[in-house]
Amino acid sequence: MLLHVPQVLTGDELARCRSVLAAATWGDGKVTAGQQSARAKNNLQLPLNHPEHRELAELVLRALGRNILFNSAVVPLRVVPPLFNRYDVGMEFRPHVDNAVRPVPESGGIRVRTDVSSTLFLTEPEEYDGGELVIYDESGTREVKLPAGDMIVYDTTVLHSVQPVTRGSRWASFFWTQSMVREDSQRRVLFELDRNIMDLRSRLEDDDPAVLGLVNVYHNLMRQWCDL
């Protein structure tokens, strides 16, 4: 999966994030990296104890909760509270793989299996050079650089990197999701089916036999594949 989710944040939400981050004192991004990732990582991160970190994380979570495309594609069970990072000139994150399991801060020991990764861009592409998110998967190498407020969603199983920034500063929120559906191939089937159901509902009544039949298939597949 490599999915572009446009306009996750409203203009006001994006402005609030940027205002807080512009005034923040940033910390070393290695704090939340695993042993291997820490050696490849050179960036800054909003500290978890920053007084407004919780506010921004909850802002992003609310935006995810109302986003139909994200919920259809990911089928989320748990989301690790969003983190916020910054790449200034010369900073990068060399190719790495994310940890399979991550703790949820201040949760009393809850851990999340990382099925899906998301990067929510908070600076416009013209504000910086470099800084592309690079995905290495079976389709080859793909570079991603999206408008502020847009998000890229991809399977956590793939290698990825962030290219060195050569001008300006790249800000983003990033987080991991445990899906109710563990297998990415099954999530893709459900996503395709759900999108076709939505398309059909735009042209037919909800009680049309074709609509009801596909909705029934969707939920029966969910019953087979969901892991709660």
**For residues 96 and 36, is the Cβ–Cβ distance under 8 A?**
yes
User: According to the annotation, is 98 in a ligand binding site?
Assistant: yes
How many angstroms separate the CA atoms of 111 and 117, rounded?
A: 15
Token pair of 55, please? 């506010």
CB atoms < 10 A from the CB of 32, how many?
21
Q: Which residues pair with 101 in a beta bridge?
A: 113
Mind giving me the DSSP string for 9-63?
A: S-HHHHHHHHHHHHH---EEGGGG--HHHHHHEE-EE--TTSTTHHHHHHHHHHH
- Which amino acid is present at 179? S
User: According to the annotation, is 78 in a ligand binding site?
Assistant: no
User: According to the annotation, is 155 in a ligand binding site?
Assistant: no
User: According to the annotation, is 53 in a ligand binding site?
Assistant: no
How many angstroms separate the CA atoms of 72 and 81, rounded?
A: 20
Quickly list H helices, the chain.
Answer: 11-23, 35-40, 53-65, 68-74, 184-201, 209-225
* β 128-130/116-121 pair status: unpaired
Binding residues: 96, 98, 160, 170
Binding residues for 2-oxoglutarate: 170
Binding residues for Fe cation: 96, 98, 160
